[in-house]
Amino acid sequence: MRFDTRLLQSGSDPDATGATVPPLHLAATYDTRWQEQPRYFYTRSENPTREALERTLAFLEDAPFATVHSSGQAAGETVLSLVPPGGRLVASDDVYGGTRALFGLLAGRGVTVDHVDLTDPAAVRTALSDGADMVWIEAPTNPLLKIADLARLGPLARRSGAVVVVDNTLASPVLQRPLDLGADVCLYSTTKSIAGHSDVLGGALVCRRADLHDRFLAHRTAVGAVPGASTATSCTADSRRCRCAWPGRSTTPGCSRTRWSAPDCPSATRDWPTTPSTTWRGGR
């Protein structure tokens, strides 16, 4: 299915009322006596409006699972909860400042964080030779717009036993689908390209692994960093329009390499060998 068709079809699966956009469920608690099969109890754990956004984001990446969070940071904190005490994280040498702050919190759990230039395959191989619990790739990075060859890094990282996380915030699923390139988890600050109208603060984790998804759900329910239903419904509507943020840009689902170009930042320009190219210009 072409990505634009996928976008058009997303977020509109009607409920029992036949509503063609997801209804806004503001209730904090639910009376299970009215439910044919009790499923909704308390909105910190489950909320139908939030689930509509999750289905939308999962559908855009051809993934069975997504969780949405109160911010990109909350999504990051959730995925980092997978790193065990005393574990090791290998990460891009350039990452968003807030992500660096989250990494700083890991020290309290005895986690070692090693930053590597992920555009240098030899450096990556050396860093992974000691094993890692997680590899965190931001692609493109914020702020330097460094590009990582996800198709090459994914298998390398997984051989070391690591969970591969890609922060795909700047690219959005319009231009890059890391799960197709071997990532385990795709992280978004939906505040950025997905919502795109500066009216939403949110985050998301999209994945194809049920074991990881279950852990994200359990962590989110325990911590409670969920987006409200109004935020979720805005984000669902915005995400269906996120293609508009990239007018004239072609997308190539399943393409293993991507041609990126950031004219304002020559060091970020990489021309990967590719089939019909996906070109991304600029960014924040």
The SS3 of residue 107 is helix
Q: Which position among 50, 146, 192, 240 bears the catalytic label?
A: 192
* Sign, CA torsion 34/37/43/44: positive
Residue with Cβ nearer ligand PLP (82 or 170): 170
The total number of residues shown for the chain amounts to 284
* Residue (of 235, 217, 104, 118) closest to 166 by Cα position: 118
Q: At closest approach, how far in Å is the CB of 95 from ligand PLP? A: 7
Residue with smaller CB distance to ligand PLP, 30 or 103: 103
Among 40, 96, 216, 280, binds ligand PLP (CB under 6 A): 96
Cα dihedral 33, 35, 39, 41 sign: negative
Assess contact for 187 and 164: CB atoms under 8 A: no
Stretch of residues binding ligand PLP (CB under 6 A), selected from 38-46, 55-63, 171-179, 187-195: 187-195
- Six token digits for residue 269: 């320009």
In the residue annotation, 146 being an active-site residue is answered as no
Element (H, E) at 203: strand 203-207
Cβ 199 to ligand PLP shortest distance, Å: 13
Residue 136 C-beta: closest distance to ligand PLP, Å: 10
Q: Is 184 in the site for ligand PLP (CB under 6 A)?
A: no
What's the start-to-end Cα distance of the chain, in Å? Answer: 30
231 binds ligand PLP (CB under 6 A): no
Residues that bind ligand PLP (CB under 6 A): 71-73, 96, 98-99, 138, 142, 167, 169-170, 189, 191-192, 201, 203
| Residues taking part in catalysis | 44, 96, 167, 192
